[in-house]
């Protein structure tokens, strides 16, 4: 059988960090993303070792041992010109790396930050310095996965050349790339079309030197192409559409790349994830090269 990408969702740790694994198992996930603390806070309570052990064991049993990730809090701005905000950001990122190591996660997803007026070049150098410092302080931690952003305001990372410039300043084995389908679209990459999808791959190689992303966020969206807006929609309920996600989950270059949903969950907190994962698993299991009848993307 051909290999298929591990598929999962961003899930809650409410009730204990290991509960996220239980939720993932209920949904049949083979990949998982969590916030390892409340994402709107500068400090989370430490994770006690027994809770971490319970997480690690449950994840290993569920086959999630190498496909579980954390998303860093949005408060972090490692590109901030302001020293106080920057120092706090670096400290929180370091704490995120420590938590990820404790939980045995495969990476920490990070937005590269906003330069808030200093300009893209200085912002990238600042971000590299901050990420580098956090990585140095957490030598055993998994890599930081820099996420492509929609480019709202002065946010960095909406162009692969910016991501490439940032990665170039950091140790190669300690940083990676996270693609988010909604962000790519908002940033102006027309991934709803075959041509735009291939352009993205060519840019990945030429701008970052990488052959594949390390993680994908699968989100549909209803914003306009290149609008620099960041809004996530359920798979098949946005302008990307089912055909786009069919192409992505069947792309042989991504056959081992974990993919997680960050889409609205519905009133019971899981039925929309369940529905989307069933759809994605079905799409992924169709033979490669199958054009399908998934309607038009736009």
Footprint of Zn ion (CB under 5 A): 180, 217, 262
* CB 184, CB 200: distance < 8 Å: yes
> Is 130 or 157 the residue whose CB approaches Zn ion more closely?
157
> Is 251 or 262 the residue whose CB approaches Zn ion more closely?
262
**Least Å from the CB of residue 46 to Zn ion:** 26
* CB-CB neighbours of 64 under 10 Å: 27
The four Cα atoms 77, 82, 83, 86 give a dihedral, to 10 degrees, of 0
**Least Å from the CB of residue 261 to Zn ion:** 10
Specify the DSSP class assigned to residue 204.
I
Q: Which residues contact 124 (CB under 8 A, 6 or more apart)?
A: 79, 112, 156, 162, 165, 166, 169
**Least Å from the CB of residue 217 to Zn ion:** 4
**Least Å from the CB of residue 232 to Zn ion:** 8
**Least Å from the CB of residue 108 to Zn ion:** 13
As given in the structure block, the two tokens for residue 73 are 């809090």
**Least Å from the CB of residue 10 to Zn ion:** 8
The CA–CA distances, whole Å, from 199 to 77, 128, 202, 213 equal: 29, 26, 5, 14
* CB 240, CB 276: distance < 8 Å: no
Q: Which residues contact 185 (CB under 8 A, 6 or more apart)?
A: 150, 191, 192, 221, 223, 225, 239, 240
């Amino acid at each position: 059988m051909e290999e298929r990408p591990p598929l999962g969702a961003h899930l809650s740790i409410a009730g204990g960090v290991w509960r996220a694994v239980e939720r993932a198992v209920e949904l049949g996930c083979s990949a998982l993303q969590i916030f390892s603390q409340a994402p709107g806070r500068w400090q989370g309570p430490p994770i006690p070792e027994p809770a971490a052990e319970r997480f690690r064991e449950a994840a290993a049993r569920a086959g999630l041992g190498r496909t579980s990730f954390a998303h860093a809090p949005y408060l972090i701005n490692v590109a901030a010109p302001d020293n106080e905000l920057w120092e706090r950001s670096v400290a929180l990122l370091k704490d995120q790396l420590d938590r990820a190591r404790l939980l045995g996660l495969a990476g920490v997803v990070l937005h590269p930050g906003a330069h808030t007026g200093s300009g893209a070049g200085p912002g990238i150098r600042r971000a590299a310095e901050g990420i580098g410092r956090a990585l140095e302080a957490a030598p055993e931690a998994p890599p930081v996965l820099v996420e492509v952003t929609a480019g709202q305001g002065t946010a960095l990372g909406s162009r692969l050349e910016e991501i490439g410039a940032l990665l170039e300043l950091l140790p190669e084995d300690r940083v990676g790339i996270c693609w988010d389908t909604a962000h790519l679209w908002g940033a102006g990459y027309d991934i709803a079309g075959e041509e735009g999808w291939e352009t993205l791959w060519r840019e990945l190689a030429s701008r970052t030197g990488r052959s594949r992303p390390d993680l994908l966020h699968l989100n549909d969206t209803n914003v306009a192409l290149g609008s620099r807006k960041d809004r996530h929609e359920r798979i098949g309920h946005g302008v990307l559409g089912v055909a786009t996600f069919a192409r992505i989950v069947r792309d042989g270059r991504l056959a081992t790349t974990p993919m997680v949903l960050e889409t609205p969950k519905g009133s019971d907190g899981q039925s929309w994830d369940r529905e989307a994962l069933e759809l994605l698993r079905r799409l992924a299991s169709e033979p490669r090269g199958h054009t399908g009848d998934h309607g038009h993307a736009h």
